């Protein structure tokens, strides 16, 4: 099949490369000429495990191309995938759909015959209907509109895309449904995980999935606060409830708050859509509020540890800046809020991340210094804050850290370290929702 993918961000690039892997003829289009030039040169503008190989192999074999020329790419395409950004609007909480409308107008003018226009971007209910109007106004050719929300996770995007848990196709046109089924057939050979539904249900499913996951995280973060004050350990509570098959063990990890390019903006857009229809999604709104509060927790803990508001003269190391391991994406990362709190309180912050140093620097400028490795970051610091649980942070050399640090405070934002062991080594340990042993081990009589 001939496919045009509009937008080569995390979603468009992974999708384009994934479709080409199964023999399709794919052209990826982006308005960002620098990004296209990078891709044409065989380089990948983002960090995503396995993506470089996939892109380079398919490009070398002539199935995957990159261009800024939308018209030529859409002409003759069987399917056009819209994968542009849908950021939060600057004057409200709804999604800003300018990139979708602009792509829609360009696609309409470029059509040369029947094509399916499928939205992979996360878009509010009603977007496909509006897109249909735009296409009808600007094109004389027949087309079908489909909603094809994407569920990949950054950090494991290639794997998720190539082995999807489900494919949702929202479409009310038989020709459109057949083409989309055909596109995804190689991805679901072992079991048909294609769910066909009406367009509005498909659009809402994506927001509902993100809102459910975000709500679970906020629920656990709030429960972690309660665990601390009542003397319980949220990690035991997590195992206790996660072993119930009705609940399941995923997305129950307390932490410094969720971030990323999707959850925060998507739950706000969902609540905004609901308000537009006179409905209050109070659970979803509470999940957002709880998350904003959670992002500020570690900053205030560090201040408390040092006895007050000012951190002047204190040096703090930050491990992990990406919003999750496996990506260089720092959009809405809790590390941004924590770094901002620490620097605002007067601390000097030395940060380290295996992949996100540059994207973080682009957001926070030179307010924090970026260390060349994880141990260099802790040199001469009073406290170490773990924000993102990259694998190399799980079992670090604590003896080396102890010698390198000036102080002894550890803030484990992901509960990945052992409080007892660290306390015995002379650290003051702080987790999220777990008992925090006093720094010097007490003798049992």
Q: Is 6 in the site for ligand NAD (CB under 6 A)?
A: yes
CB of 84 to ligand NAD, least distance (A): 4
The window from 98-106, 126-134, 224-232, 293-301 that contacts ligand NAD (CB under 6 A) reads 98-106
Scan residues 232-261 and list those touching ligand NAD (CB under 6 A): 261
Establish if 332 lies at the interface with ligand NAD (CB under 6 A).
Answer: no
Residue from 2, 22, 32, 209 in contact with ligand NAD (CB under 6 A):
32
168 belongs to the binding site for ligand NAD (CB under 6 A): no
Q: Minimal distance in Å, beta carbon 164 to ligand NAD?
A: 12
Binds ligand NAD by CB under 6 A, chosen from 20, 24, 27, 86 = 86
85 is a contact residue toward ligand NAD (CB under 6 A)? yes
CA–CA distance from 283 to each of 227, 231, 280, 290 (Å)?
21, 27, 9, 10
Q: Which of 28, 39, 55, 83 binds ligand NAD (CB under 6 A)?
A: 83
Please provide the DSSP assignment of 338-406 as one string. Answer: HHHHHHHTT-EEEEE-SS-HHHHHHHHTTSSEEPSSHHHHHTT-SEEEE-S--GGGTS--HHHHHHH-S
Q: Does 197 contact ligand NAD by CB under 6 A?
A: no
Q: Which two tokens stand for residue 171?
A: 């479409």
The reply to whether 102 sits near ligand NAD by the rule CB under 6 A is yes
Contact partners, residue 417, CB within 8 Å, separation at least 6 = 386, 410, 429, 431
Do 15 and 5 meet the contact criterion of CB atoms below 8 Å apart? yes
Looking only at Cα atoms, what is the longest distance across the chain?
87
Give the closest residue to 147 by CA, choosing from 101, 228, 205. Answer: 205
Name which of 300 and 363 has its Cβ closer to ligand NAD. 363
Stretch that binds ligand NAD, among 25-33, 178-186, 335-343, 418-426 (CB under 6 A): 25-33
Closest CA to 150 of 123, 120, 127: 120
For the question of residue 436 being annotated catalytic, the response is no
In angstroms and rounded to an integer, the radius of gyration of the C-alpha atoms of the chain is: 24
- CA dist 196 and 340 (Å) reads 45
**Binder of ligand NAD out of 29, 74, 108, 177 (CB under 6 A):** 29
Q: Could you tell me the smallest distance in angstroms from the CB atom of residue 411 to ligand NAD?
A: 27
Among 84, 107, 128, 144, binds ligand NAD (CB under 6 A): 84
With a CB cutoff of 8 Å and minimum separation 6, the contacts of 367 are 339, 340, 343, 349
Binding site for ligand NAD (CB under 6 A): 6-12, 29-32, 35, 83-86, 99, 102-103, 121-122, 150, 152, 154, 261-262
């Amino acid at each position: 099949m001939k496919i045009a993918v509009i937008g080569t961000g995390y979603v468009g690039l992974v999708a384009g490369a994934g479709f080409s892997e199964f023999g399709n003829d794919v052209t990826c289009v982006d308005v960002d000429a620098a990004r296209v030039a990078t891709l044409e040169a065989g380089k990948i503008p983002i960090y995503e495990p396995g993506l470089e190989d996939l892109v380079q192999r398919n490009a070398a074999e002539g199935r995957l191309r990159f261009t800024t020329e939308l018209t030529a790419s859409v002409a003759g395409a069987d399917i056009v995938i819209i994968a542009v950004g849908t950021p939060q609007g600057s004057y409200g909480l709804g999604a800003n759909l300018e990139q979708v409308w602009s792509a829609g107008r360009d696609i309409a003018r470029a059509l040369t015959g029947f094509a399916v226009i499928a939205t992979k971007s996360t878009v509010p209910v009603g977007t496909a209907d509006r897109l249909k109007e735009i296409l009808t106004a600007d094109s004389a050719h027949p087309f079908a509109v489909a909603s094809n929300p994407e569920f990949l996770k950054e950090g494991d995007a290639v794997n998720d895309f190539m082995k999807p848990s489900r494919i949702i196709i929202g479409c009310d046109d038989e020709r459109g449904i057949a083409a989309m089924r055909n596109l995804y057939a190689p991805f679901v050979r072992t079991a048909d995980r294609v769910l066909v539904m009406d367009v509005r249900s498909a659009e809402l499913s994506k927001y509902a999935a993100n809102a459910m996951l975000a709500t679970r995280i906020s629920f656990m973060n709030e429960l972690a606060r309660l665990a601390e004050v009542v003397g319980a350990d949220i990690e035991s509570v997590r195992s206790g409830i996660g072993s119930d098959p009705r609940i399941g063990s995923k997305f129950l990890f307390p932490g410094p708050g969720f971030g990323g390019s999707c959850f925060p903006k998507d739950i706000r857009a969902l609540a905004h859509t609901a308000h537009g229809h006179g409905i209050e999604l109070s659970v979803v709104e509470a999940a957002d509020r709880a998350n904003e509060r959670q992002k500020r927790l570690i900053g205030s803990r560090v201040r408390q540890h040092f006895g007050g508001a000012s951190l002047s003269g204190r040096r703090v190391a930050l491990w992990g800046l990406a919003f999750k391991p496996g990506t260089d994406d720092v959009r809405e990362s809790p590390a941004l809020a924590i770094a901002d709190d620490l620097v605002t309180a007067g601390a000097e912050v030395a940060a380290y991340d295996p992949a996100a140093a540059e994207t973080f620097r682009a957001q926070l400028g030179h307010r924090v210094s970026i260390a060349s490795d994880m141990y260099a970051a802790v040199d001469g610091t009073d406290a170490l804050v773990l924000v993102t649980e990259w694998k190399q942070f799980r079992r670090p050399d604590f003896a080396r850290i102890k010698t390198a640090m000036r102080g002894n405070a550890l803030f484990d934002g992901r509960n990945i370290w052992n409080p007892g062991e660290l306390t015995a080594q002379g650290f003051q340990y702080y987790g999220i929702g777990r008992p925090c042993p006093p720094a010097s081990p007490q003798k049992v009589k």
